[in-house]
Amino acid sequence: MLSTLAPIVDIPRARVDPINTLTEKLGVFALALCRPLRDETIALCLDHDQHGVGLFAFTSSKPLTELIDRIIGAAIDVEATAAISLLSSRSGRGRENRDVSQFSMAKNRCADAGLWLDEWLLVAAGDVFKLG
């Protein structure tokens, strides 16, 4: 059973190397992911050229729609943030029926703030899922 993500050997450098692939994103997220897994959401802030400019972790079991305003608030304080990618971990739980609507609502809130919510990934139940 997958309980953690292993970081890749060559992690993209902040503000230097673009983060273009899912593997590169997962490598960055793996650096911030708590072990053992617990309920948390990690936000990776990217500039217009896909360079990482910020990384924030929010420890909470609240749904994404209740966290997104805190995530946006942290992201807009980082100069050059144009997009956000998210990774959540859920201890003992996998995907939930409301995930699709949660992502849609969060994406709209980000757009209202002038940010692009790129994707939302989940590490849970022995796998990595793409939620949006």
- Residue 72's CATH number: 3.40.140.10
CA 1 from centre of chain: 22
Which pLDDT tens digit goes with each residue over 64-115? 999 999 999 999 999 899 999 999 998 777 788 898 999 999 999 999 999 9
* DSSP annotation string for 16-30: TSB--SHHHHHHHHH
* DSSP annotation string for 58-87: EE--S-HHHHHHHHHHHHHTSTT--EEEEE
Please report how many Cα atoms fall inside a 13 Å half-sphere around the Cα of residue 3, on the Cβ side: 7
Q: What is the pLDDT of residue 12?
A: 82
- What is the count of structural domains for the chain? 1
Residue 118 has pLDDT above 90, yes or no: yes
In-domain check, residue 2: no
In-domain check, residue 92: yes
In-domain check, residue 11: no
Tokens of 72: 């946006």
Determine contact, residues 65/96, Cβ cutoff 8 Å. no
Where in the sequence is the domain holding 80, given as residue range(s)?
22-130
The strand pairing partners of 88, in sequence order, are 41, 122
Please state whether the predicted TM-score (pTM) of the whole model is above 0.85.
yes
In-domain check, residue 68: yes
> CA 117, CA 3: separation in Å to the nearest integer?
26
